[in-house]
Structure 1
Amino acid sequence: MPKVFDWNGYRFHFFANEGDPREPPHIHVTRGRDTAKFWLRPDVSLAYDRGFPPRVLSELARVIEARRDDIESAWHDFFA
């Protein structure tokens, strides 16, 4: 599970096996037992959430938006 970065105790990562055919670029976020998945395009949007409160999801979406280019670069470098 390649880690892209950590932020305030949250781990931003993707899985090495992202399906066949591979899903479009996205990022998983975990902290403890809570997890969420966000699509990166066309806009950052929540794919699913298991445990994070709405306020945290909004903040995570802002972080992902700010780091979207870094996340996409890591995605393409790994899956190239």
Structure 2
Amino acid sequence: MAPTVVRVGSYRLFFFSREEPRMHVHVAHPHGEAKFWIQPDVALACHTGLSERELAEAQRIVTMHVQEIVHAWRQHFGG
């Protein structure tokens, strides 16, 4: 299960139900994907296929929606 948290243009932010416990979010885009750590600060964990511009936009979107991501994470996983 991969609940979608936010959609902005071509970017979809989501997380997998059965993955590592450290808070993070995945970002899917038609050109590739990225994973961002959420805490203690938003930081790129890994990516594939995205240009530097697309990565910067993905990080901007994650940062803009960080509170929504944290809330969705806690609702889905508890805590």
Same fold, judged at TM 0.5 (above) = yes
Point out 4+ residue stretches in structure 1 off by more than 2 angstroms: none
Output one character per residue of 1:32-76: Cα deviation in whole Å (capped at 9) or x when no partner.
Answer: 351110001221110001000011111111111111000000001
Aligned to 1:61: 59
- The corresponding residue for 1:3 is 4
The two structures have a TM-score, normalised by structure 2, of 0.90
1:52 aligned partner: 50
Unaligned runs of 5+ in 1: none
Question: Normalising to structure 1: TM-score of the pair?
Answer: 0.89
Structure 2, unmatched stretches of 5+, are none
2:27 to 4, 26, 29: 29
2:13 corresponds to: 12
Change (3 A) 1:15 1:34: same
Aligned-residue Cα RMSD (Å) equals: 1.1
